[in-house]
Amino acid sequence: MTSPDAEQLALDGLAPRKRRKRAPAAKTPASTDPVVQVVLDIQATHLGRTFDYLIEESQSEAAQPGVMVRVRFGGQRVGGIIWNRVAAGETPMSSLRYVERVYGPQPIVSASMREDITRVAEAYGGTRANIVRLAVPPRVARIDEEQRLAASSVWRGRQRFGERSEQVAGAAERGAARFAASYADAARLRSALEGSGFSPFVVDALPGPERWARELAWMALEAMLAGKAAVLVLPTMREVQDMTVALRSCGLRPFIPNPASNGGYSGDFAVLSASMPPAERYRAYTSIANGQVRCAIGPRAAMYAPVEGPALFAIFDDLAYQNMDGFMPYPNARGVLRLRAKAHGGVFVAMAHARSPISQWEACGTGASGDPAAGAARETPTCGYSMPIHALPAVTKERSPWIRWLNRDELARLADPSIGARVPHTAVRVLAKALEQGPVLLSIPADGVAEALSCAKCHRQARCRRCTGPLQRERDDGVRCRWCGAAAVNWTCLGCGGDRLRVVRVGAAGTAQELAGLFRGVPIVVSSRNQPRGVVESIECRPQIVIATPGCEPRVSPVPGNDGPQGHEYRAVAILDAWTSLYALGMDARPDTLCSWMRAMAMCAPRARGGQGLLIGETDPALAQALMLWDAPLLAAKEIAERAQTGFPPVLGAACVWGRRDAVMTALSRIGVTGEGDWTRVESDGVPVPAVLGPVPIPQPATINARELENTADRVKAVVLVDLTRRAELATRLRAAVAKHVASREPGELRFRLDPKDL
């Protein structure tokens, strides 16, 4: 038996050293407000609160609200942000741990930014940690040292531009004159940019290559000359590049290295995007936070630009799918910008070629006089009244191309012998004549194949009688609604009364080969994300045919000696396969289609320079009329009228809840929309509509591992509809339901999204 006092023998010089145990160093709490409330980088909903920690006296000066810290939580080191400092918290002082490290002394999240993050989290049913994940980029230590000297830079309106003041002021005056000559009520927008107080606007963009970018650049310039900041959110990086060119043409400089400052950076506007390298993104973020740069542009990540005080918050093309964040709680860029503009007392501008239903809903709320009181009844955290700014009819007619709808009736009137062809003879003649002067653009539907159901007799899209949603074919050949899941039993067409369905496969392939036979010897360029060459950024202004899918249209670059406006335009634009719009499945199918068509038509020369647009194929008459007249509110008004009858957003507040079937049904019961709940009834224009649509089976995620396979086996989605006055409470109830699901470790996936883009 081995003695407990036995000692392992060792050769001389090889015995292990006996280390003395050091007593932990004594820590002294800060003499003033020793407790810090920290928002931890933990995304679990049930942990969406602040946690109390102690701060040492030696760290007291650096540990200010808004500073990043590292703490111990649950046996591991976790990053966080100090949200507040107090004398004592709810947790006893004896139970508190000390903050391990403070990354100061410069706060990275200001007081107003912390308030904005809290508002966004409450509006969309998330936690502050959810919003911080996208809003605040990861810290890069060397950038803090680099930006420390720049923190003393103060913006003082016109004085900030120095020797460029006259150039910038001249560009602002020219932009103001151009805007006033083109838009009704332009004076209201300019006075709001120069004044104070919350002012929301909805602006319908005029056609013309990058005309929208010049208008937004003028708005940003006007706000900056008035001493305000500007935040411009754009759909993709292609639009960011267009916006950069427009701002530089106004005399503004991008935030780039300055040789005169020994490696430092300087500029008037900065790009803020989640796809940027970490150091570049953090540098742009800190330059905006310390006031060195007062204009931020970029995709949806720019909606959290840390600007202070009254500012311009503008978004272009608020219909874009890219504006919805891909993480919980899925905030929408439009709603976030409007919420921040109202909190800052700034100006909110939603600008687009095709007016979105939410913009139409807000614009209708002001009435013809623009009185805000008329829309106060529909005010919600992310929605309310807005002042519509529409172009003058004469200017719209002058700037837009001559657009014709070549449907079956029009081709018969023209006695075209090729009725039913994909590119009829009338279109071939127009395009051939336009090719004599420059390039032409043919816009085709997105690549790939989608499936839809239509009436076999009149070819209308098959719709659900319960909620008007599109029907889909199941694996067992059954037919159900995509939105509410109701079975289509004894279905009949509302248009012709037919009772037979047919499958329609929409898509586009082989367009280049088809056109090569019609236009022999003409160069053909294909721009699409699914093609070998990918997206073509630009082409030269010379005779050639460009085939592009929506969002991939190349810009026209002028050849040397042709720097006029005609050097940046297509001579003709044709929309092929317009009939595919009849079978689009999304709730915003028609506005999205009009937006993609208008985006393509906006690149065409105006009718004064012989520009022509062609819409080829059958489509919804409201869509065709809105495009030909360049009157997006025409379609938006019809959308609102139809949604008021069926009770769809934005007339009612909506949320999508999805996950495993049992988890979804339990959550619906907890928020009170099923069974004996208090929200089982909802009305739209006095007509009762179902408070819950679904649940509908949905496919499993594209990326899934074996461990998650069981949790997502029976995956469904349901849509909850409530009155707009209850939207904020709906966000609170959904967050509480998910928090209880996670905290109780109930099995299965459970997620939700407010203000969904699609049902």
- CATH code of the domain covering residue 60: 3.40.1440.60
Q: Do residues 452 and 583 touch, judged by C-beta distance below 8 A?
A: yes
Dist CA 42 CA 280 (whole Å) = 25
3-class DSSP assignment, residue 402: strand
Determine contact, residues 731/654, Cβ cutoff 8 Å: no
Rg (CA), the chain: 29
Start-to-end Cα distance in the chain: 75
Same domain? 80 vs 114:
yes
| Three-state DSSP class for residue 745 | coil
Kindly tell me the burial class for residue 226, based on how many C-beta atoms sit within 10 Å of its own C-beta (0-12, 13-18, 19 or more): middle
Estimate to the nearest angstrom the gap between the alpha carbon of 513 and the chain centroid: 36
Determine how many CB atoms are found less than 10 A away from the CB of residue 505: 9
Q: What pLDDT score does 531 carry?
A: 74
Name the one residue in this structure whose structure tokens are 């042709």.
Answer: 562
Cα 35 to the center of its chain, rounded Å: 38
Query: pTM for this one?
Result: 0.86
- What does the pLDDT read at residue 508? 47
State residue 709's pLDDT score. 62
Q: Is residue 483 part of a domain?
A: no
**Count of domains observed in the chain:** 4
Is residue 3 in a domain? no
pLDDT at 579: 85
Residues 6+ apart with CB under 8 A from 524: 512, 515, 516, 544, 545, 546, 547
Considering the domain architecture, whether residues 272 and 360 belong to the same structural domain is answered as yes
Note whether 307 and 368 are same-domain residues.
Answer: yes
Query: Does 145 reside within a domain?
Result: no
Is position 709 within any domain?
A: yes
pLDDT, tens digit, for every residue of 735-749?
999 999 999 998 888
Distance, C-alpha 604 to centroid of its chain:
26
DSSP H helices, 511-575, are 511-518
436 lies in the same domain as 584: yes
Q: Across the chain, how many H-helices and E-strands are there?
A: 20, 32
Within a domain: 646: no
pLDDT of residue 561: 59
Distance between CA atoms of residues 607 and 182, nearest Å? 17
Across the chain, mean pLDDT equals 84
Q: Both 662 and 740 in a single domain? A: yes
Residue 151 and residue 434: Cα distance in Å, rounded? 55
pLDDT value for 718: 92
Query: Do the beta carbons of residue 362 and residue 386 sit within 8 Å?
Result: yes
List C-alpha distances in Å: 185 to 62, 180, 223, 391.
50, 8, 18, 9
CA dihedral over 239, 245, 250, 253, signed as positive or negative: positive
* One domain for residues 173 and 124: no
Q: Are 534 and 618 within one domain? A: yes
List C-alpha distances in Å: 115 to 110, 283, 306: 9, 23, 11
Q: Distances in Å between the alpha carbon of 498 and those of 54, 382, 467, 482, 502? A: 73, 43, 19, 21, 11
Q: How far is CA 578 from CA 593, 596, 603, 662, 753, in A?
A: 9, 12, 18, 42, 32
The single-letter DSSP state of residue 679 is: T
Final residue of a domain: which of 112, 136, 160? 136
497 found inside a domain: no
By residue range, what is the domain housing residue 596?
401-450+506-629
Q: Is 271 found in the same domain as 344?
A: yes
CATH number at residue 185: 3.40.50.300
Cis peptide before 470 (omega within 30 of 0): no
Q: Are residues 49 and 93 in the same domain?
A: yes
**Which CATH number does the domain housing residue 536 bear?**
3.40.50
Determine the Cα–Cα distance for residues 117 and 135; give it in Å rounded to an integer. Answer: 8
Q: Give yes or no: residues 294 and 200 share one domain.
A: yes
CB proximity list for 546: less than 8 A, separation 6 or greater:
439, 440, 441, 442, 524, 525, 527, 536, 539, 553, 554, 570
Give Cβ neighbours of residue 74 (< 8 Å, ≥ 6 apart). Answer: none
Q: Give burial (CB, 10 Å; 0-12/13-18/19+) of 513.
A: exposed
Long-range pairs for 700-709 at CB < 8 Å and ≥24 separation?
Answer: none
Token pair, residue 381, equals 């955290």
Choosing from 107, 136, 165, the residue where a domain stops is 136
All residues at 6 or more sequence positions from 235 whose CB lies less than 8 Å from its CB, including other chains: 299, 316, 317, 320, 322, 323, 551
Angstrom distance (rounded) from CA 104 to CA 457: 71
User: Alpha-carbon distance 296 to 252, whole Å?
Assistant: 12
Question: For residues 140 and 125, what is the distance between their CA atoms, to the nearest angstrom?
Answer: 30
Structural domain includes residue 584: yes
How distant is the alpha carbon of residue 20 from its chain centre? 59
Sign of the CA dihedral running 427, 433, 436, 437:
negative
Same domain, 411 and 345: no
79 and 57 both lie in a single domain: yes
Between strands 572-575 and 612-616, the pairing is parallel
**Is 40 a member of any domain?**
yes
Residues of the chain with pLDDT under 50: 153-158, 366-377, 507-508
In this predicted structure, what is the pLDDT of residue 385? 86
Instruction: Say if CB 95 and CB 53 are below 8 A apart.
Output: no
